[in-house]
Chain A
Amino acid sequence: MYTNKALQHFKKPKNMGRIENPDAIGEVGNVICGDVMKIYLKIGKNKSGQEIIKDIKFETYGCVAAIATSSVLTELAKGKTLDQALKIDNQTIINALGNLPAIKIHCSVLAANALAEAIYNYFTKNNREIPEFLKQKHASSLRATQREHLPARLANASSKRAGRQK
């Protein structure tokens, strides 16, 4: 069911825990659906003066896939510029793990959203201009967090349906 890579990340998660005085926090999911992911960021600058993710940690409540996707996400994001980090999507995460069972794809979506939420939080705190796609992502993460009784995957599907009906 799970790839060895995913099991490795689950067994020995990378960058697990919290950062004291983080520059940003992103939280997605809810306990009712069975997944909560929290990403902590410390932002620094690289030699060319671009802002990068200097440190990243996660806390996750959820299944094997939720923990494995959070862990691999932190590896993918660490050291990246914020622009690069925002390009990490759920497919990047799935590829990094080798694969994910079909019913667990929503965990990879959640992990990508958690990072986007943290960056959104950083931009907001520092009065930066927020790209349109990130605003939209934030709105949909917020909806999914508030939506009860529906796994994120189904919640996403139903909000898409609702969108079409308009």
Chain B
Amino acid sequence: MKKQQIYLDYSATTPVDPVVLKAMTPFFSKKFANPASLYKKGLEAREALELSRLTIARAINAEAGEIIFTSSATESNNFALKGVAFAHLPALRFGMASKSRGKHIIISAIEHDCVLASAAWLQKQGFELTIINPEKNGVIDSQKIKNALRPDTILVSVMAVNNELGTIQPISEIGKICRSANVYFHTDAAQAFGKIPLDVRAMNIDLLTLSSHKIYGPKGVGCLFIRKGVKMEPTMHGGGQEFHLRSGTVNVAGIVGFAKAAEIAVATMRDEQQRISGLANKLIAGIKSTISNVELNADVQNKVPNILNLQFSFIEGESLLMLLDLNGIQVSTGSACSSEKLKPSHVLMACGLRPEQAHGSVRFSIGRFTTEQDIDRVLEILPKVVNDLRKISPLK
């Protein structure tokens, strides 16, 4: 008998919504033309592309001309940091530090690896970097960003929702601080989109990253919002697509899917988050009543409901993940043993967890297709699995 599979790793990626898939299908073999072509078939693809752009723009209160499509959130984040930095290169060459010619970048310590690595690379090229640590609850204190600003600061990048903890960052406050200091503010909203309302105008955001596959769209598509007037140096050169900022023939089918997914995400956000919140509460209450020595990493008040990062004492995350998988449940972990680098999660460590606490942390992320029965089944299996591993463990 095939075991029932319960997917609780929606923050890693999501299945493509059937409605999204249906919207994409014609653009593979029928409406396949290059949107840059001038004939009718090209215009047909171009129209779909521009409609998609408008849909995405509206979802975050931007204008269509402010959205450029990319291959992923990783590409968008790379471009946000490097594009702004390269636009300031003359400052680096001539050592001048004025508002338009700075060399200092501020990011948070709990950013996704693609932001951390891009910033570290820019530092190697001569830019200066300040990394702000989160408070113990996994939230960045906007005052610390304000204090870190310098006359030569060119960019602040703080994610909207953390991917491991689900903590919501004070991006409105950081946006306000950056705007009044005349410093660009970028936010990676890959985990926030469809979970919390995003308004680039009200939140004073200059650059914002979105990803398709986190919202039931296809993989291989993302976008970057670039507020009109923000100076960016392209990093992908070629045919001049995407307003000369990102060359390369665009992924029309993927983008159409992304837009359809965004449309659904925005329309269903309130109801869906409410439903997921109910499931999450049930899961956490059930876990706390059946398993001892469990802690939620992050405050319930300060996070999106769909992500639950739990710390199980005396056992190690990869073991727990694998034993759950053998029982048909998929989750992820911040343990060192599951990473290629053999280092525990930088997010959990930045929040002040001890390595052994990070090793025992597992993320459950709930999504659109999670049912109440799924949660019941998890509550049936999880205590057993944790108990089995604790029986093997010499730590008590």
Contact = CB atoms under 8 A, between A and B. Distances in A.
Interface of A: 2, 7, 10-11, 13, 16-17, 27, 31-38, 59-67, 103, 149, 151, 153-154
A59 B355 contact: no
A154 B342 contact: yes
Given A10-B319, A61-B315, A151-B336, A36 B342 contact: no
B342 A61 contact: no
A127 B322 CA distance: 43
B395 interface: yes
A59 B393 contact: yes
A63 B318 contact: yes
Contact of A67 (B314, B335, B340, B392): B392
A34 B393 contact: no
Interface string B365-396: 00000000000000000000000000111110
Contacts of B318: 63-64
The 7 closest A-B pairs by CB, nearest first: A63-B337, A59-B394, A63-B318, A31-B356, A38-B394, A61-B393, A34-B359
B323 interface: yes
B356 A32 contact: yes
A31 B340 CA distance: 19
Interface in B301-330: 314-316, 318-319, 322-323, 326
A34 B315 contact: no
Contact of B342 (A17, A31, A66, A151): A151
B322 A36 contact: no
Interface of B: 314-316, 318-319, 322-323, 326, 335-338, 340, 342, 344, 354-356, 359, 391-395
Nearest to B318: A63
A136 to B, nearest CB: 25
Contacts of B315: 61
Contact of B335 (A2, A63, A154): A63
A10 B356 CA distance: 20
A117 to B, nearest CB: 13
Nearest to A64: B322
Contacts of A35: 316, 337
A153 B340 CA distance: 13
B319 A63 contact: yes
A153 B336 CA distance: 13
A34 B336 contact: yes
B356 A62 contact: no
A13 B392 contact: yes
8 contacts: A10-B322, A16-B392, A34-B356, A34-B359, A38-B394, A63-B316, A66-B316, A151-B342
A62 B395 contact: no
A34 B394 contact: no
Given A61-B315, A61-B395, A62-B316, 8 more contacts: A7-B326, A16-B391, A35-B337, A60-B393, A61-B314, A63-B338, A64-B318, A64-B322
Nearest to B357: A31
Nearest to B359: A34
A70 B323 CA distance: 17
A153 B319 contact: no
Given A31-B395, A34-B335, A62 B355 contact: no
A13 B322 CA distance: 14
B316 A61 contact: yes
A65 B355 CA distance: 19
A103 B340 contact: yes
Contact of B319 (A17, A31, A64, A151): A64
A153 B342 CA distance: 10
Contacts of B323: 10-11
